[in-house]
Amino acid sequence: MRRHLNTIYVTTDNAWLRKDGDNVVIEADGAERGRVPLHMIEGIVCFGRPGASPALMAACAQAGIAFSFLTPQGRFLARIEGPRTGNVLLRRTQYRLADDPARAVPVIRGIVAAKAANQRTVLLRALRDHGAGMDPPTRAAMEGAECRLSHIARLAALADDIALLRGHEGEAAQVYFGVFDNMIAAGRDAFAFQGRSRRPPLDRINALLSFLYAMLGHDCRSALEGVGLDPQVGFLHADRPGRASLALDLMEELRPVLADRLALSLVNRGQVKAQDFSIDEGGAVSLTDDGRKAVLIAWQERKKRELRHPFLGEKMPLGLVPHVQALLLARHLRGDLDGYPPFVWK
């Protein structure tokens, strides 16, 4: 089983990264701030304007370490990677399946059903943790949404048409985010949520979700590249220039588990506060430097939590789940598995 390695997140604008032997060295203001062996990391993510030496970027490309540059808000800018790895026959199979709706439907069916089921689990955990303090109408809305998501998951598991499955996925999102505000138990004035907004986020919860989704997208893309799949060619998400469609596919079943649940925990436990966000003149909301650091620390800790994988039956850190799911998808495409087993959170 693959080891769960660390990702380095660089948030200081004037930071400089360089290679020293087999180590990554992070410097800022003329002083060394950190030193990590290359073999201990799987990715480097830079926010803002940190710089890096050509020698380090070359070493990362050669070692298969993803080196990504993002805006301070987490929007993807650029990525440095080495020669594409993996079996060309696997990628050719991926392309053929993406062009064949009949063969793509079983994979999409699993993704959509698992996403709805995992969204339902988030609601059930919120009811368990905070249901006693909810007023009757709020609790009734939560229970109704939970039942509807369970029904959508069953419908998706039986669907045999891509358009229908996309409709089920859209309905699940509408139901789930329709009650998301009910799961916010602390700081409700500052963290009111009235629906998804993106590019730009228009409230603090949306800014937090978008940032966590960007981190999850980075991990999913790296996982797919690690097993030899092309992250640009997906099944549920249509091809679009510049969009990592397969990474978005892989993210769908993992968003509730890795990102949504963490966002709710950060707010409800008071680990992020109103002052950890800034609002520009146009109304766009983003994390401050301190807020971003707090979220990244929590993100890394979340990825270290162990669970038992529902298909493999093995205990593993949450951060390893995107790699395992990418590996299971590759095994299905190679014909080693009859179907793609999606990740269903228990």
Q: How does the average pLDDT of the chain come out, rounded?
A: 88
- Which residues are bridge partners to 322 per DSSP? none
**pTM for the structure as a whole:** 0.85
pLDDT in tens, 246-298: 999 999 999 999 999 999 999 999 899 989 998 887 888 889 989 989 999 99
- What confidence tens digit (pLDDT) does each residue in 28-47 have? 888 888 888 988 887 788 87
Tokens of 346: 């228990």
Distance CA 100, CA 78 (A): 31
Is the separation of the CB atoms in 322 and 330 below 8 Å? no
Q: Which residues fall within 8 angstroms of residue 198, CB to CB, at 6 or more apart?
A: 206, 210
- 8 A C-beta contact, residue 59 and residue 38: yes
Domains of the chain: 6-80 (3.100.10.20), 88-334 (1.20.120.920)
- Write the pLDDT tens digit of every residue in 200-258: 888 899 999 999 999 999 889 888 887 889 999 999 998 888 788 999 999 999 999 99
The string of DSSP letters for 83-133 reads: SPPS-HHHHHHHHHHHT-HHHHHHHHHHHHHHHHHHHHHHHHHHHHHHGGG
Which DSSP string do the residues of 304-338 spell out, in sequence order? H-EEE-TTT--EEEGGGHHHHHHHHHHHHHHTSSS
How does residue 5 score in pLDDT terms, banded at 50, 70 and 90?
low
For position 1, what pLDDT does the model report?
A: 52
